[in-house]
Amino acid sequence: MSYYQRENRELVSIDSCELVQSQFSVIHDFSAACALDFLAEVSEQLLPANEPGEKQFRLLTTVLEHLRSATPGAVWRAVTYFSLWTVRLAGLLPDMDVCLGCGTWLEDPENPTRAFFSRFSFGLHCLECRRSLHLSNAWELSPESRAITREILQSPIAALAERNWTQTTAADLRRFLTQQIETHIERRLITAPVLEAAA
């Protein structure tokens, strides 16, 4: 796309627009169409204006390619992968293996600790801190979702461990990530509940 923007003007004049890759092939699948809306809303809300975001662009192209692969569970793999990396690239991802209340290492193999999150607190908390901080409406981040978090941060999307992905897979992780985004943008994402209900 090429466009011209005058200084101090928000509106731009678009000169030309060429379609490089169409997402048309996936929109017959309702949940995939909802996923596209979600990717667009999150990108629009989180990316700074007038700044090239090369890493975010590469993330988007990778995730869209995976979505077009139409492998079983691709929608949920794509959306979860995108959400986690977008939150990380935006600098909004807290330390995921430490309780932000007391510093306990949540992933200690000799003493694995349950992890909780709440809309009104940043990051994860252990059971003790959940009680002492009176975190109301806290959700648990399941051991499976914590394992998926580690995998996503270490592997390309196509190399994630074999797993039967459905809407319930890592739904708690997506809820956590959505809350982190919503706290930052100070409003709810319109597309998130629609997507989760689209399964």
For Zn ion, what does the binding mask look like between residues 74 and 103, x meaning CB under 5 A? -------------------------x-xx-
Residue closer to Zn ion (CB basis): 102 or 153: 102
Which residue, 35, 28, 25, 22, is CA-closest to 165? 35
Residue closer to Zn ion (CB basis): 83 or 104: 104
Q: How far is the CB of 101 from Zn ion (least distance, A)?
A: 4
Q: How far is the CB of 59 from Zn ion (least distance, A)?
A: 31
Which residue, 63, 107, 67, is CA-closest to 85? 63
Among 20-28, 45-53, 126-134, 148-156, which window interacts with Zn ion (CB under 5 A)? 126-134
Which residue, 90, 80, 91, 78, is CA-closest to 46? 90
- Token duo for residue 11: 């509106």
Q: How far is the CB of 112 from Zn ion (least distance, A)?
A: 14
Q: Does 129 bind Zn ion (CB under 5 A)?
A: yes
Residue closer to Zn ion (CB basis): 53 or 123: 123
d(CA 95, CA 159): 23
d(CA 174, CA 180): 10
Q: Please list, in sequence order, all residues whose beta carbon lies within 8 angstroms of the beta carbon of residue 197, skipping any fewer than 6 positions away.
A: none
- Token duo for residue 146: 């914590």
Q: How far is the CB of 106 from Zn ion (least distance, A)?
A: 9
Phi and psi at residue 156, in whole multiples of 5°?
Answer: -65, 155
Q: How far is the CB of 128 from Zn ion (least distance, A)?
A: 5
Rule CB under 5 A: which residues touch Zn ion? 99, 101-102, 104, 126, 129
